[in-house]
């Protein structure tokens, strides 16, 4: 794999600050070897500082799970890119299917968020993917095309390589279902084909549908899958360490 593997754990709405610190302390001895894959923890807002402080000087990069596109203003309950940078957050998940489904996040809103993240030196982890109904209707490619092209429409060509894209088939998130290696590779290759040719080989594309230690090696062996955006399997330090090891081995 020419692109550096990227193993990101998305904790969603799990872990208090103390639980987050316990996780980091349990994880670090298990990933202290070769610093090959990038290791990212996407923590809830209230645990971000705990993860940052307990992982300083290590290979762990800390990401938020969402942000607002405005610099400041009357947006109760929201957090800006500048606020995230202020506490040393280095990346942010944007457009996760749960944000789209439960909070009506649109591709147009994401187009603004991706640009703002890049302007604030935050690495955007842009999530795209189809529902079960959309796949059954043979709409997968049309959905991915709309999501990718709309969200990246305002990204300068020289910045495109700084974006990480996570393909998350909605039907495989939290269901225990996993796309076959062939389906996952096909979708990730299609996403890469939508990107500017000058940056397509630089952009890391992750698989985000129930990756776990048992299937990680086969998924990461696919030529267009550069890592994983991992939900449930990232909540236990031992499981996440195994996924990091799979990422190291895939390099």
Known catalytic residue at 21: no
Residues 86/91/97/98 CA torsion (nearest 10 deg)? -40
Per residue in 132-164, pLDDT tens? 889 889 999 999 999 999 999 999 989 999 999
In angstroms, rounded to a whole number, what is the distance separating the alpha carbons of residues 119 and 244?
A: 29
* Rounded average pLDDT over 159-175: 88
pTM across the whole model: 0.95
CA nearest neighbour of 66 among 108, 19, 39, 98: 98
- Average pLDDT over the chain, rounded to whole? 95
Q: Are 46 and 77 in contact (CB under 8 A)?
A: no
Closest CA to 30 of 212, 227, 245, 230: 245
What mean pLDDT comes out for the span 19-31? 98
Could you say which of 98, 105, 123, 168 is catalytic? 168
Query: Please, are residues 92 and 125 in contact by the beta-carbon 8 Å criterion?
Result: yes
pLDDT tens figures, 110-130: 999 999 999 999 999 999 999
Q: Which of 38, 68, 96, 98 is catalytic?
A: 96
| Residue 96 appears among annotated catalytic residues | yes
Mean pLDDT of 225-250: 96
Q: What are phi and psi of 228, to 5 degrees?
A: -140, 145
Matching CATH number, 6-250, of 3.40.50.300, 3.40.50.720, 3.60.20.10, 3.20.20.70: 3.20.20.70
């Amino acid at each position: 794999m020419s692109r550096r593997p990227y193993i990101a754990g998305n904790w969603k709405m799990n872990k208090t600050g103390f639980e987050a610190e316990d996780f980091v302390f349990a994880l670090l001895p298990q990933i202290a070897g070769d610093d090959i894959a990038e290791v990212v923890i996407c923590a809830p807002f209230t645990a971000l500082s705990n993860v940052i402080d307990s992982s300083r000087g290590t290979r762990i990069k800390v990401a938020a799970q969402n942000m607002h596109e405005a610099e400041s203003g009357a947006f109760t309950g929201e957090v800006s890119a500048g606020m995230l940078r202020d506490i040393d957050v280095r990346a942010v998940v944007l457009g996760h299917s749960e944000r789209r489904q439960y909070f009506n996040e649109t591709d147009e809103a994401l187009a603004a968020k991706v640009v703002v993240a890049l302007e604030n030196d935050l690495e955007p982890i842009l999530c795209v993917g189809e529902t079960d109904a959309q796949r059954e209707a043979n709409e997968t490619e049309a959905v991915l095309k709309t999501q990718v092209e709309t969200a990246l429409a305002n990204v300068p060509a020289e910045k495109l390589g700084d974006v990480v894209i996570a393909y998350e088939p909605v039907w495989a998130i939290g269901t225990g279902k996993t796309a076959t290696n062939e389906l996952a590779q096909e979708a990730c290759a299609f996403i890469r084909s939508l990107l500017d040719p000058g940056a397509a080989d630089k952009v890391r594309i992750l698989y985000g549908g129930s990756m776990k230690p048992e299937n990680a090696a086969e998924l990461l062996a696919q030529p267009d899958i550069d890592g994983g955006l991992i939900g449930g399997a990232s909540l236990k330090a031992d499981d996440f360490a195994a996924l990091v090891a799979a990422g190291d081995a895939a390099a």
